[in-house]
Structure 1
Amino acid sequence: MTWLVEKNRSWAEWAVARILGVGPVPRHLAVIMDGNRRYARKEHQDILTGHTRGFHKLTEVLSWCRDLGINEVTAYVFSIENFKRPKQEVDGLMDLAVEKFAELLEEKDKLAKHGVRIRVLGNVTLLPERVQRWVAEAVLTTKDNDKCFLNLALAYTSREEIGTAMGELCRGVSEGQLQASDISEELLEKCLYTRGMRDPDLLIRTSGEVRLSDFLLWQSGFSCLFFAKVLWPELTIWHLFGAIFYYQRHYHTLTEARRESLNVRQCMVEESDIDVCHAKFGEKVTAEHIAAQTSSRTERIDAFLQDLSERRINYLKEICK
């Protein structure tokens, strides 16, 4: 089974794709692949077969996205909450993950040709060692590719992600890399697993459930949410077309809301710099004082984030040894 499916489209599919291409097309699609177990029960198959069919559907979705010009996909593969499922199912899913990562690395030349980068979001330390090694190798092997991005949320929840980011900020302050006044929404965001990624433009959940299940809660604040009743393995390109059309109808409202949020965030950072200067210099604050404060804060933050990136990369390298 290949990760990069090459599939011919019908004339009708190409026609609709071209029509949708006239309007704004999401650059980043996030998916909650719900319904694999229900699909297996519906088809009178074992649960692991349902998950395998779910993976095959993901490879199909990647091919649809490639044809539509969507160059980033984030898939909710395995939640931390999923560890509570029966041991046999969890072990089977971990074995499936090893199998699929091994297949992925067999296609590393094709991934390089298409510029596909694999990123894994989540607390990798919670995974079995055999899975950690394959994850680390996949991430490191593709880290220099920069045309398409596949983000796999594995051992992930938003609460854990935000808690981990807060822990990194506390460490930065306690070790003297940061000052307490440096902490902001923007800096917290840069400590998340999704640092450097674009927020999802469109988030699709299948199976009829209307909730996010602790998936990308921070990042989806201004995403278009589309809930499909179909089970994940039964998803078709026509469902994706419908989701994109829905996104286009709400595009301008979401874009304006995101722009306003960014403006407010920038104003808060600027006000914080002014408050710090007032605390140091009283009423004698000048533009030079504010510029110096802004410059020193930027230098501290850049050094802290560089150190954080190196820590994460070094951890993956250690796993591969």
Structure 2
Amino acid sequence: MIRSLIEPLYEYFITRQCQHIPTHIAIIQDGNRRFAKKKGLTTSYGHRVGADRTEEVLDWAQQLGIRYITLYIFSTENFNRTDSEVSDLFTLFKEKLASIIDDERVHRYGIRIQMIGDRELLPEDLRDAVERAEAATAHYDNFYLNMALAYGGRNEILQATKNILGDVRDSKIKTSDISEDLLEEYLYGKNITIPPVDLIVRTGNECRMSNFLPWLANGHESAVYFCAPYWPMFRKLDMLRAIRVYSQRKAMLKQVEA
């Protein structure tokens, strides 16, 4: 009871300290399995509760005016998990993607769904579900939800490099054409809109980046916020604390530049 009274006041207090709101937040959603284990429940339950929390976080992002959210949903390393867990995750992803198309919030807010990652690694039915969600929201540009699915930072740079070398070999581009902008096109494709990352948040008390967005985050010196709660326990208060870290860093950089 006391917490329910105090927490909104604390949220208001921290919000007042967030003078700078990031344009792009990338989130490593860690701790679903550990949350389930702690509760004595199945791993699939932990992932489903985590997916529900993701929907809440997207609502918070709209309220705070954050235009781009990138979620680390499934890494290339996650394919090493058991077949049953991977299958359960893919089923969950398909369900959530199907619901996106009819979600009135997506259309009310004008949210565009985009995937980054290696589509060739996905089963056909999941790839189709991704493409349907992308097509249904392709005309929106108010907010962007980027799903890092079958994603690995090293893999995306490696694949982009191979494709650039292939196009140089085939005389489609010249070596003099290679620039940062061109590399970003090869990393994400011309139809993907994704700016540099301002803030990375990782839950689950893990203090590492896990091969996440090395070009857009590390290359642009984004702020990083590690927090203890498992992803299903992540609160709006935790997000506000992360944004406060970004805001304080932004203010400090402005003072240095002045």
TM-score by length of 2: 0.89
Going from structure 1 to structure 2, the CA distance change for 1:254 and 1:59 (only over 3 Å counts) comes to: farther
Cα deviation code 1:46-86 (max 9, x no counterpart): 00000011111111111111111112100000001101101
SS at match of 2:188: coil
Counterpart contact for 1:224–1:254, Cα < 8 Å: no
Contact 2:15/2:240 (<8 A) preserved = no
Q: Bigger radius of gyration, 1 or 2?
A: 1
How far residue 186 of structure 1 moved from its aligned partner, in angstroms, is 3.2
Deviation readout 1:241-277 (Å, 9 max, x if unpaired): 11111111111456799x9xxxxxxxxxxxxxxxxxx
Output the CA distance in 1 between the equivalents of 2:110 and 2:117: 23
Matching residue of 1:224: 223
Kept in 1, the 8 Å contact 2:25–2:68? The answer is: yes
CA 1:223 to 1:47, structure 2 compared with 1: closer, same or farther past 3 Å?
same
Task: State the alpha-carbon separation in 2 of the partners of residues 111 and 62 from structure 1.
Answer: 10
Aligned equivalents of 2:101, 2:159: Cα separation in 1: 29
CA distance in 1, matches of 2:100, 2:39: 28
Preserved contact between residue 76 and residue 151 of structure 2 (Cα < 8 Å): yes
Does 2:187 align with 1:188?
Answer: no
Q: Which moved more, 1:118-127 or 1:180-189?
A: 180-189
1:249 aligned onto 2:235 = no
Which letter does structure 2 place at the counterpart of 1:35? G
Distance 1:254 1:57, change over 3 A: farther
Counterpart of 2:54? Answer: 58
2:145 to 150, 174, 178: 150
In the alignment, what sits opposite 2:201? 204
CA distance in 2, matches of 1:228, 1:11: 19
Aligned length: 247
What percent of counterpart residues are identical? 35
Pairwise CA RMSD of aligned residues?
2.1
SS in 1 for 2:181: helix
Please name the residue that 1:234 is paired with: 233
Matched, 1:19 2:23: no
Which sections of structure 2, spanning at least 5 residues, go unmatched? 1-6
Does the C-alpha gap of structure 1 residues 256 and 16 become closer, same or farther in structure 2, counting only changes over 3 Å? closer
1:50-89 correspondence runs (5 A): 50-89=46-85
Q: Partners in 2 of 1:116 and 1:256 — Cα distance? A: 34
Q: Which has the higher contact order (CA 8 A, sep 6+)?
A: 2
Task: Give the superposition deviation at 1:19.
Answer: 1.2
| Higher mean C-alpha displacement, 89-98 vs 159-168 | 159-168
Tell me the distance in 1 between the aligned counterparts of 2:200 and 2:34. Answer: 21
Does the residue aligned with 1:70 lie in a helix, a strand or coil? Answer: coil
